[in-house]
Amino acid sequence: MRLDTRRATRRDAAHTAMLNVALRIASVGCAITAIAATATGCGSASKVGPSASKRAHDGPLVYEISTEPQRPATATQLAERLPDGTTRRLPRLPGGARHPAWSPDRTRIAFVRGLANAAYEINRVLTGRQLPRARTEIDTADAAGRDVRRLVSDCPATPGCLFDALPAWAPDGRISFLRFYGPVHSVRQPYEHQQYASRVELLTIPASGGRPATIRRWDADLQPWDGAPRWSPDGRHIVVALGSFAHPNKHSMLATALFVLDAAGGAARRITPWDLGAGYPDWSPDGSQIAFASEGGHSPSLYVVRADGTRLRKLVQGDTRSSVGALQQPAWSPDGGRIAFAAQPRPTSSYRISQLDLFTVNSDGSQLRRVTTTDAYESAPAWGPN
């Protein structure tokens, strides 16, 4: 998206603010309603090529698709785009399905049920209403979307629990997820309204079921914001985007950065600067790089960086010239050659949100391609087996 801030009216800035952050909320990155003022910039960007052919990626993409803003949960279901370019809906699930994540052997998918759909969340943010407490559960299914097994469903019975979200598989077969606790806190400034949980916990549970174990806890200020914590391929580290109000910049009072944690405990190490606005991290299959989305300067971009914070590179910058805006949720292909992500296909300074589609780009930033073209909200891509 592009907004010339030198000529923008205060109303334009506010509308653009709602658009950018509503799209962030649609992924339940922070999972709590947020309205933050943002003004977008622009720069050099990859051009979008034609829709991807059967050689555009090396396995099916499972993703979430939502179409009805007024229906809180059931309107979001899982779909799959096959390597030959065809798409199909996975079996419809009561309570909807969000945040798909493949097991290490690519035989099962973890996902969330009962969480408000992306279109509904965007609608509530744009109309200034809070999201209700959700009766969520973490489930798994086979690669065809069948053989559904309930894994975690104790949030409603847990004091203070708002909802569970954002599952991810560890290499050893455990499943991690985030649990958000109330009450919700609010911070207000002109053109900016952020709401965040009192506490967020990172828990793990065996894929066969059992009692969740807490491996990390964050309190009010520094806590997970955009995207799921992701395990390194060797299982030794976890990368997570943390948000903080202690590092405001000229664009926002909230800043986000990537941190690498020792999975066995110990201190977290920040690997991106606060002003870059990093979120939605994902490890490359060989563990050498991390892809992430950035809102630094409020021109949403796709970056990669080494796990030690070196060799930061921009792959895609979203603006009207590249026809990609509100870029988020990158996911590496199994062979490491491509990165899929969700984005708005027609970036605009208007607060009206048309759709989210899926795109892919080579890991060197070349061959940016749009791979879905519907009018729905398609997001949270996850690569399947080759």
For residue 359, tell me if it sits in a domain: yes
For residue 280, tell me if it sits in a domain: yes
- Number of separate domains in the chain: 1
Q: In the predicted model, what is the mean pLDDT of the chain?
A: 78
pLDDT of residue 32: 39
pLDDT at 27 over 50: no
- Residues 153/99, Cβ–Cβ less than 8 Å: no
The tokens 């066969």 sit on which residue? 208
The predicted model scores a pTM of 0.82
For residue 3, tell me if it sits in a domain: no
How confident is the model over 111-137, as a mean pLDDT?
60
Band the pLDDT of 74: cuts 50, 70, 90. low
For residue 35, tell me if it sits in a domain: yes
pLDDT of residue 307: 95
Using DSSP's 3-state secondary structure scheme, residue 60 falls into: coil
Expressed as residue numbers, the domain containing 162 is 10-383
> How do residues 52-66 score in pLDDT, each as one tens digit?
444 444 688 999 888
pLDDT of residue 300: 81
Kindly report the CATH number assigned to the domain that includes residue 99: 2.120.10.30
Percent of the chain having pLDDT more than 70? 71
Amino acid at 214: T
Among the listed residues 317, 308, 299, the one whose alpha carbon sits nearest the alpha carbon of residue 361: 317
How confident is the model over 321-331, as a mean pLDDT?
80
For residue 302, tell me if it sits in a domain: yes
Task: Give CA–CA dist 36/248, Å, rounded.
Answer: 12
Band the pLDDT of 37: cuts 50, 70, 90. very low
Cα 123 → chain centroid: 18
> How do residues 252-302 score in pLDDT, each as one tens digit?
778 899 999 999 887 889 999 998 999 999 999 999 999 999 976 567 899
pLDDT-wise least confident of 249-253, 265-269, 309-313: 249-253
Task: Give CA–CA dist 234/159, Å, rounded.
Answer: 35
For residue 4, tell me if it sits in a domain: no
